[in-house]
Amino acid sequence: MGLSLNLGCCDDHRKGWLNVDIAEPADVLADLARPWPWDDSSVERILALDVFEHLPSKIHTLNEAHRVLEPGGVLEMAVPCVYLLDGRVNPGAYADPTHQSFWTLDDAYYFFEQWNNPAGERGRFGAAYGITALFRPQTWELFDYGSGRERRSKIRGVLEAVK
């Protein structure tokens, strides 16, 4: 089995995974806002639960994930979405003062292969925006949790690297 990265692990260390964070405790300390310390196509799986929103650039983050994943490698991610299922604003996406990037289901237009054509956003703007990442979604969905004032939403994505 190839290398599996548990990014932003904090204290959620997983057996069989390389547990990565910017601070202790972690197997590897890495600042994911900078170039990632793994070779091209050297990673089979990436788990990134509630970490990518803490990084300043979606483009850099997904480009680096794509770069280190082997062809067909899988990125499993979860991030707060700026909207709830009913379209209202999700305060959870903005409340944490360490959140630096904000995610919507529409991010798919720039990173997924079905929009990598002359009429799609990925095909039209990808090169100009510096996007090199290309993924095939297995899952890209919004889910709500909590209730009342504590209601929040996240995007859950399981993405396959297209190379």
Asked if residue 115 has pLDDT above 80, the reply is yes
Q: Can you give the pLDDT at residue 117?
A: 92
Total domain count, the chain: 1
pTM across the whole model: 0.96
CATH number at 31 reads: 3.40.50.150
User: How many percent of the chain have pLDDT more than 70?
Assistant: 99
* pLDDT value, residue 70: 98
| Mean pLDDT for all residues in the chain | 96
What average pLDDT score do residues 139-151 get?
Answer: 94
- Say what the pLDDT of residue 7 is: 98
**Percentage of residues in the chain with pLDDT exceeding 90?**
97
Of the pLDDT bands very low, low, confident and very high (cuts 50, 70, 90), residue 149 is confident
| Confidence (pLDDT) at 135 | 98
Phi, psi of 107 (to 5 degrees): -60, -25
Measured CA to CA, the distance from residue 30 to residue 8 in angstroms comes to: 9
Supply the range of the domain harboring residue 117. 3-161
